[in-house]
Amino acid sequence: MLQPIVLVHGGAGDIPFERVDGKLVGVKAAAKIGYHKLQETGCVLDAVEEAVRNMELDPYFNASYGSVLTADATIELEASIMNGANLKVGCAALVKDIMHPISLARKVMNTPHNFLAGNGAMELAEQESFEILHSGQLVTHYAREALAEWKEGLNKGEERFARTEIGTENKYKKVETETVGAVAIDCKGNIAVATSTGGITGKLPGRIGDTPLIGSGTYADNLVGVSTTGHGETIMKYCLAHTILKRIDFLKENAQIATENACKTMTERLIGEGGAITIDYKGQVGISFTSKRMAWAYVKDSTIHYGIEKNQHLQEFL
């Protein structure tokens, strides 16, 4: 019998110091809520969905409420969820004005398709009685400021930094990314993964990143589950989630080493930074990021583990 685990991340990036505490509170709460859900229903999909829903409500994260803005100052959301027991997936992109894109992605699992985007995704949301919010209700002051700062950088001819975003200097601190994700394993070794984001500040309308892409932002089978975060254009070229799985499967690396090596080699090869959280079939956890910070937390055996800085691993008994 394995120990059940719910592991979450709150996004990799150049997170400014003043956002650190809020993010740690958010990831710890999400891990606990996801774990309680797992105890309540025994279902890893329920656990990851619940953990992500919690972070979608939290303006400290770039997912649903608090999402970053496109160059047109709108919000376009994306999410994916995968069940490691049967490889069923649900993905949604170019979604607007709903509070829980991760739950819409889960509804996509019940259609004949894997991925719905734009109008089709919104039609499903309406059919499934999702509350459609007024345009602009998900926009925060922080996101507006981040877009203004991004535009200022662009006007100064610093597009390279502003569009690349990850790995930029502190002066672009408000364009850091803060996507959310969760991985869970139950005592029988069933694994599920969920990831949700608003993307990157100043993205062109219609841009889709790595988060809803299976193998890039999310992957789960009962061998390994991975949720990633960071510069989407980089992560999707490297298929980061599936690369971690391959390292565990073929190179026999453990979850931590595979996650570290995959993030490191991706950044060495493609420059863009990122991070990932992993649980493997032995119930081993992997957490790594090449960005300055990434908030993470997991609950296992009545203890919550968490951190946000490099090589930081704090724990508290629940």
Residues that bind ligand ASP (CB under 6 A): 11, 62, 177-179, 197, 199-200, 209-211, 229-232, 235
Cβ count within 10 A of residue 316: 9
Torsion of CA 219, 225, 231, 236, to 10 degrees: -30
Give 100 or 300: the residue with its C-beta nearer to ligand ASP: 100
Q: How far apart are CA 236 and CA 217, in angstroms?
A: 8
Minimal distance, residue 175 CB to ligand ASP, in Å: 10
- Give just the sign of the alpha carbon dihedral 44, 190, 251, 297: positive
Nearer to ligand ASP, 30 or 200 (CB): 200
Buried b / exposed e along 227-253 (16+ C-beta atoms within 10 A): bbbbbbbbbbebbbbbbbbebbbeeeb
**How far is residue 29's CA from residue 51's CA, in Å, rounded to a whole number?**
8
Length of the chain: 318
Does residue 243 have an active-site annotation? no
> Which residue number, 33 or 77, has a Cβ lying nearer to ligand ASP?
77
Catalytic residue, from 70, 179, 267, 290: name it: 179
Q: Which is nearer to ligand ASP, 66 or 232 (CB)?
A: 232
DSSP string, 77-125: EEEEEEETTTTEEEEEEEE-S-S-HHHHHHHHTTSS-SEEEHHHHHHHH
Q: Any idea which residues carry the catalytic annotation?
A: 179
